Chain A
């Protein structure tokens, strides 16, 4: 699999339910970032978790990072119809000081929240 692979590819839930999306990656990282993209629109930064962090919260978002398994998860609690979007993880590699912040994105998870 490629760097930054999300699963599931698509997720359909009812409003009020929780949505969990997973991301796996292959190389060591400085940090991992989650972005949201509404259809055909720009990328909105949601949360950044550093390689020395295990969990981070922001509002209804909870992100975990397991560097031993090279994986991360994004949990959206109490989902709303407005959360319908594509969600991407992006890794900032740890390249021994030669990284210039280049991000490698996964394929994304398409989340649909039904009212």
Chain B
């Protein structure tokens, strides 16, 4: 079964600092990769996704992520964070789980706190 590891539980940054959140997955086959964000008191929403093609994916609000197949990684980046980026970020992998179905597996999440 696939698994997803997010290295940092809580990251604290000052505004304008650069962000990189790590995500590694374990699965030997083809995967589709996602980053979801959950702002305080709100629902999980999609930040960006990778299915195929250019491994550098751009999402909403200035976020991007790079898929490095050899490292089984899909790290999330933003050059300059804002206070409004304070949220919890979840990496997820969608992979074949057998019997014709796919399973979306999430990491534990990384809480980002941005200090004004």
Whether chains A and B associate is: no
**Residue ranges of B at the interface with A (Cβ–Cβ < 8 Å):** none
List residues of chain A with CB under 8 Å of any chain B CB: none
